[in-house]
Amino acid sequence: MIDYGKHNVLGVMVSAVDYEWAADQVVRAAHEQRPLALTALAVHGVMTGVDDPAHNARLNAFDIVTPDGQPVRWAMSVLDGVKLPDRVYGPTLTLKVLERAAAEGLPVYLYGSTDATLAQLVPALRRMFPALSIAGMEPSKFRSVAAGEDKEIADRITTSGARIVLVGLGCPRQEVFTHAMRPLLDMPMLAVGAAFDYHAGLLRRPPEWMQKASLEWFWRLCLEPARLWKRYLILNPIYVSRLMAQKLRLWKATPPAPTTVPAESYAV
């Protein structure tokens, strides 16, 4: 297992870890019944922190922020000389955590996405992991949380008997939700990005060579150009320019202090 600590990538503190270490931390927290917040950030996720200092502070309050995209993994190498064998991709990490959860009797709760996606995701997960216990599920409401609703959500998750929560609300909503709910749950929460859609069979994975060559963004852009063109064609060049500015010390990417968020200010 690899854990080289956290490293500053454009002001976001990213965990230089591998799949085994990240999955082990989640499972340990589940067994010990303690809170833990994890997210996997690609370029878009990092840039949400660059563009919004308040959100940057939320991200830096996460226990684990894995390098979901190859450009984030490479950034740690360019900036600090950290050599990781691979990224820690949210959908793949999800499967590794679920495999451990099934083997060790840890029920999971699925929060987010839509009823239609969850209806396909649950049988897919049960085919992959017959011993997996799904304690409950709840689709996204696609609105801001009402006063007191966060505690109601936490009560439903706790009452279900779940020991791990997977959150699929999309970036950055899932990070805001996970950060805000962390104090209310004595279990790990994972913001898993597009994992729900991938494992439900609704999104196609790019070939392995494209993933290793950091071309997954191009694959996603071809599949969903209307939704993703701005994310990739505008944010990616800005990411590279900021990275070079940080490397050359032309821009000081100072990580802001961790923060809290009022319940009424996030979406469910």
Domain total of the chain: 1
Query: Has residue 13 got a pLDDT over 70?
Result: yes
Mean pLDDT across the stretch 55-81? 96
Between 232 and 115, residue with greater pLDDT = 115
- Measured CA to CA, the distance from residue 69 to residue 47 in angstroms comes to 12
User: What pLDDT score does 206 carry?
Assistant: 75
User: What pLDDT score does 259 carry?
Assistant: 66
pTM above 0.85, yes or no: yes
Residue 212 lies in a domain: no
The domain in which residue 187 lies consists of 3-203+234-265
User: What pLDDT score does 263 carry?
Assistant: 52
Residue 217 lies in a domain: no
User: What pLDDT score does 224 carry?
Assistant: 77
- Of 64-73, 147-156, 239-248, 251-260, the one with minimum mean pLDDT is 251-260
Residue 198 lies in a domain: yes
Mean pLDDT across the stretch 243-264? 81
Mean pLDDT across the stretch 94-110? 98
Residue 223 lies in a domain: no
